Amino acid sequence: MFQLSFLNSGLLILATATVLPLLIWLLAKKKPRRIMFSSLRFIRLSKEQKKNRTKLKDILLLIIRMLIILLVVLAAARPLLKSSKLMASKKHAPTALAIVLDNSFSMDYLIDSQSYLDKAKAAIYKINSLATDNDRLVLITLDEDWNNLNALIYAGKLPQGMVEQIGITHNPIELSGAFKLAEKQLSAIQLANRELYFLSDLQEQELPANPEYPIHIIPLSADILREKPQPLYDNLAVENAQPLPQLVEKNRNQVLHFELSNYGDLDKSDVLVKVVLDDQRVAERFLNIKGKSRITETISFDIRNEGWQKGYVEVLDDKLIHDNRSYFAYPYTLTPRIAVISQKPALPQILRSMLMVYAGNSGKLDTIAPEQLSSQALKDYNLVLVFDPGSQINRLRDLSNELKARNQGILFCLGKSVSSEYKSFLSTSFAMALKDYSSQERSIDYLNPHHYASSLISSSTIKHREVADYWLASSSSASLLAAGNSPLAVSKGRNILWLFDIESSRNRFFLDSAFPVFAYRCFEYLGSSAPELTTYQIGNQVSTETLTDPEGKIYNLSGQNYLLHKPGIYIQQSPDGNTSHFAVNHITEESNYLPMDIAGHSKDGKIKVLPLEFGSQIFFTRLGSDLWKILLILAFLLMILEMIVVKIEENRSPKTSQTD
């Protein structure tokens, strides 16, 4: 069966110009002049002979000229002829070929001693071996940085060294974006035959709804073509590793919380999970986990030194390694140093009790008068609180700005008396209006579940939720931590403000077991030891002065945003020279393999899955690219034929005249 298509079908409208020679011939016919002779017999005979000869010549020239115009128009429209009845040639026509390679982390799944990425590279090498110097090849990956450097149009073959260097990308672009880039590059190549191929483990992704060119999927194994690809379900992953806070007594024994997931169908026993801290194994456990389940576990280890604790929890799973680790980074201080800025010699009993619990037996708690404030005096303190600083708040304002630059916050606690200067300072710092003192009892009915300070408690579990003495406030931009018809605790940046009167004995919330947890979490949050503050995901952005990535590469950012694209432990340096660590983890959506709905995509014929032995299917548009050349040659031959006919007629004209 034959199939004829045109690359530039819009030019076929010019085929109407074929009738122009016919119109000219019809409109330009001349009537012979009438001349009177005495004898007309010989003249009539000569006239009839010439008329017949001229008529045949004109019709022949007319047909030739119409065919010339038609063939030129058809050649410009670039006809492509395909037929299953024609013999497939070992040589293919010059072809523009684009490959979209999925190199997201699920492509590193190990099967038959090879990863799917290795199998995809082997398929690219096979395509390379079939390409000729007349072909144009393009390779697109899901790594945007790689595409910016290498997604070019190559004459002949793709550079083998370039293909070998392709690795897993931890922050892949959308698949639709990769196909758009491939289609753009194909459109820029002036070749009639254009083909688009997709190499992937067929993890569920959104394919283009209406691709410009048919997408041919090259399978990397027989397993991923099954309705339920079993091998890719055999995967373990560990997530959400973070330290549990020490609410009662600080010691060197740290407990880590983590989640272990089994995405396979089979139960797993004696699964090894270990903790690595500063490149040294410090703890390990063997766990059992059922198929298709997730469990929450803990593992403990002894902290050897104070400072930043950085490492990962790892599960032993050789199938897919990129989701085997969950990184963590947090500062640990066995002896917290706390500074309370206050003009009062003694702190409220409830506040002092909470601070002593946080400091532990070896911690340090100092009260500093407002007039003695200086950045040097507070340099060695982990936690800073303010309670009743009086009316001299200029130094407090300067101190707040310095701590903000160091990414350190302040806890502001209120009593019954607040100076107008201090009230104005708090209103500005928290972008709110601090109003009057109220003694109307309210019940806490809201606790922010998303903030570190309040995420461990719930208003529904609080038995004593009454707050009788507090400051009224209205806020539009500060984050609510606790509220009861009006704000009772708010957060702005790294600062926290308690609006309840910390000196009042009428606030029954202080007697509930939830309050020590809330207070302790506030202290941790402000003391830069909250795990959530130091954990990010790939794709997040950070802004800092200097950043060192997990491979040791240093970036001088000068406060600009940096897109995190690798998992591991990063080191950041703030403008004042302070350094901190943070962990970056995977988004584990690809850990649970879900097969792509190929059948649904293939209904309209835009998606086609090739056989495992796909070599004979590559460069499949073998006919059509040379038809335009054949048409132009025919048009040229017709032009020569036209000139020959005209020349013969010119040569016959004198002889005819003499005979006549």
Structural domain that includes position 13: 2-30+39-86+626-659
Residue 190 pLDDT class (50, 70, 90 cuts): confident
Pairing between β-strand 432-438 and β-strand 410-414 as defined by DSSP bridges: unpaired
> Considering its fold, how many domains does the chain have in total?
5
Could you say which of 494, 509, 528 is where a domain stops?
528
Question: Is 631 inside any structural domain?
Answer: yes
Same-domain check for residues 398 and 520: yes
Instruction: Tell me the CATH number at 262.
Output: 2.60.40.10
Same-domain check for residues 537 and 406: no
3-state DSSP assignment of residue 282? strand
Calpha distance 6→75 (Å, rounded): 10
Calpha distance 182→103 (Å, rounded): 15
pLDDT of 654 > 80? The answer is no
Question: Is 604 inside any structural domain?
Answer: yes
User: pLDDT tens across 244-261, in order?
Assistant: 877 666 778 899 999 999
| Tally of CB atoms within 10 A around 68 | 20
Same-domain check for residues 630 and 605: no
Same-domain check for residues 219 and 279: no
Task: Kindly list the distances between the CA atom of residue 43 and the CA atoms of 56, 229, 407, 653, in Å, as whole numbers in the listed order.
Answer: 20, 93, 115, 16
Flag the least confident range among 75-84, 85-94, 377-386, 645-654. Answer: 85-94
Calpha distance 190→603 (Å, rounded): 30
Question: Is 591 inside any structural domain?
Answer: no
Flag the least confident range among 2-16, 203-217, 543-557. Answer: 2-16
Question: Is 324 inside any structural domain?
Answer: yes
HSE of 6 in the Cβ direction (CA atoms, 13 Å)?
Answer: 11
Question: Is 592 inside any structural domain?
Answer: no
Instruction: Tell me the CATH number at 508.
Output: 3.40.50.880
The pLDDT, as a whole number, for residue 200 is 93
Could you say which of 310, 330, 350 is where a domain stops?
330
Question: Is 508 inside any structural domain?
Answer: yes
Same-domain check for residues 449 and 581: no
Q: Give phi and psi for 252, each to the nearest 5.
A: -85, -5
Question: Is 590 inside any structural domain?
Answer: no
The pLDDT, as a whole number, for residue 41 is 53
Task: Kindly list the distances between the CA atom of residue 627 and the CA atoms of 357, 537, 599, in Å, as whole numbers in the listed order.
Answer: 88, 55, 35
User: pLDDT tens across 52-65, in order?
Assistant: 666 777 788 888 88
Burial tier of 135 (Cβ tally within 10 Å: 0-12, 13-18, 19+)? buried
Average pLDDT along the chain: 85
Query: Across residues 129-151, what is the average pLDDT?
Result: 95
Token pair belonging to 410? 């302040």
User: pLDDT tens across 253-302, in order?
Assistant: 899 999 999 998 889 999 999 999 999 999 999 999 999 999 999 999 99
Residues pairing with 285 in the sheet = 273
Same-domain check for residues 186 and 258: no
- Which residue carries 């903790």 as its tokens? 275
The pLDDT, as a whole number, for residue 211 is 87
Among residues 505, 470, 498, the alpha carbon closest in space to that of 485 is found at: 470
Same-domain check for residues 379 and 508: yes
The pLDDT, as a whole number, for residue 602 is 61
Residue 529 pLDDT class (50, 70, 90 cuts): low
Could you say which of 330, 358, 375 is where a domain stops?
330
The pLDDT, as a whole number, for residue 384 is 94
Same-domain check for residues 507 and 400: yes
The pLDDT, as a whole number, for residue 525 is 85
Same-domain check for residues 418 and 520: yes
Comparison of pLDDT for 135 and 27, the residue scoring more: 135
Same-domain check for residues 362 and 502: yes
Calpha distance 587→229 (Å, rounded): 22
In the chain, the largest separation of any two C-alpha atoms, in whole Å, equals 149
* Maximum mean pLDDT: which of 378-387, 410-419, 517-526: 410-419
The pLDDT, as a whole number, for residue 276 is 97
Instruction: Tell me the CATH number at 194.
Output: 3.40.50.410
pLDDT of 35 > 60? The answer is no
Task: Kindly list the distances between the CA atom of residue 274 and the CA atoms of 103, 258, 269, 325, in Å, as whole numbers in the listed order.
Answer: 28, 11, 15, 10
The single-letter code of the amino acid at 295 is I
Same-domain check for residues 384 and 349: yes
The single-letter code of the amino acid at 58 is D
Same-domain check for residues 214 and 363: no
The pLDDT, as a whole number, for residue 660 is 46
User: pLDDT tens across 350-405, in order?
Assistant: 999 999 888 877 788 999 998 888 877 788 888 999 999 988 888 888 888 888 77
